[in-house]
Amino acid sequence: STGASEDPSVTLFREYLRIDTVHPKPDYLGLACQKVEVCQGRVVLILTWQGTNPRLRSVLLNSHTDVVPVFEEHWTYPPFEAVKDSQGNIYARGAQDMKCVSIQYLEAIRRLKAEGKCFARTIHLTFVPDEEVGGHKGMEMFVQRPEFRALNVGFALDEGLASPSDTFSVFYGEKSPWWIKVKCAGSPGHGSRFISNTAAEKMHKVITSFLAFRESEKQRLKSDSSLTLGDVTSLNLTMLEGGVSFNVVPSEMAASFDIRIPPTVDLKAFEEQVAAWCRGAGDGVTYEFHQKCMDQHVTSTEESDPWWKAFSGVCRDMKLQLKLEIFPAATDSRYIRAAGHPAIGFSPMNCTPVLLHDHNEFLNEQVFLRGIDIYARLLPALASVPPLPAEG
């Protein structure tokens, strides 16, 4: 198809994908605009569509503007040109994660405003930096600020994942990431002798215990088709350090593990298990946390919950099949939930391979346009949720 016949929403999406990545400037919607510098050089952009009853809690539409790096030699098309092939697939870094959602929010609001609609609840859009490196200089700082509290959030939407089948993935919680470094101290000596009580022997035991647990969780996932990656604890050995020379038995070695724990797991009991593995490896084995997320908030998906009822009702009306899951990695939703607000992770991309952070990330223009239709139905339902008991 020629550019001339392209849907303007798709054109805007492709323009945004070509920005490598600075903030969008979508001031054309006539929305109130506020910029908050959460720390040096990190700006959150807030666009606000005022509701008719501003005392009610608002609906927050969050998206992040940053994208992960690319290895260009693995891409069929340049990753920042948003090339569209003959099937209507748009190739670019950020096509799925998550510039599509930013533009879908905006285009849904543009459509609703053009139809003269207005709703009781205020809708805020936040465009945040830093999500791909942990959100520490983005959403994590933003939720602490008075500007965030002033948004008076009742319910938030944030990113989900594509789904290869015709169902849509909906995420109501996230795993707690734990990054643990285990240090083993032992007797040093010459590389030609059988030194006893070495750091390496202890490290061997540590790694064996940790990886045996990894294998058992992997098998548990494999053997039960009702489980998803979000339901089991993932564990990976990601760094190994130690040693000074071929002929010197080192006095210390260290191993680092990336562990992601579902909200159903008792974190205190899990840490006791880690401590037991370390004790079992011998004396002088210690562990330290480089990240220890303890928040296990999940968002209600009970039909009695007014927010979920509004969200799921629209999906039922539109005959969208939902698959409810725990998010296997981490998004900014965790900071929103930890601040006490319900949040749902949802990127309306079905029949689409999951390619976030991958080479040749793409989204089909029809799937993208269908997403705008979905948001154009979701937003009125969420912004019209009747006053909750707490809102009088």
Q: Indicate if 131 belongs to the active site.
A: yes
Of 130, 125, 171, 114, residue with least CA distance to 26: 125
From the list 107, 131, 231, 332, the catalytic residue is: 131
Of 235, 273, 283, residue with least CA distance to 255: 235
Tell me if 361 is assigned to a ligand binding site.
no
What single-letter DSSP state applies at residue 360? Answer: T
From the list 66, 140, 158, 231, the catalytic residue is: 66
Of 109, 158, 141, 154, residue with least CA distance to 44: 141
Tell me if 290 is assigned to a ligand binding site.
no
Overall size of the chain counted in residues: 392
Tell me if 97 is assigned to a ligand binding site.
yes
Strand order in the sheet with 285-292: 234-242, 252-261, 176-185, 285-292
Cα separation values, 314 from 81, 218, 378, Å: 35, 35, 6
Of 273, 252, 260, residue with least CA distance to 186: 252
Cα separation values, 86 from 18, 77, 81, 175, 353, Å: 19, 13, 15, 39, 18
Q: Indicate if 66 belongs to the active site.
A: yes
Tell me if 359 is assigned to a ligand binding site.
no
What single-letter DSSP state applies at residue 309? Answer: H
* The two three-digit tokens of residue 243, written as one number: 């040693």
Q: Which residues are catalytic?
A: 66, 131
Task: Please give the annotated binding residues for Zn(2+), written as ranges.
Answer: 64, 97, 132, 159, 357
Task: Please give the annotated binding residues, written as ranges.
Answer: 64, 97, 132, 159, 357
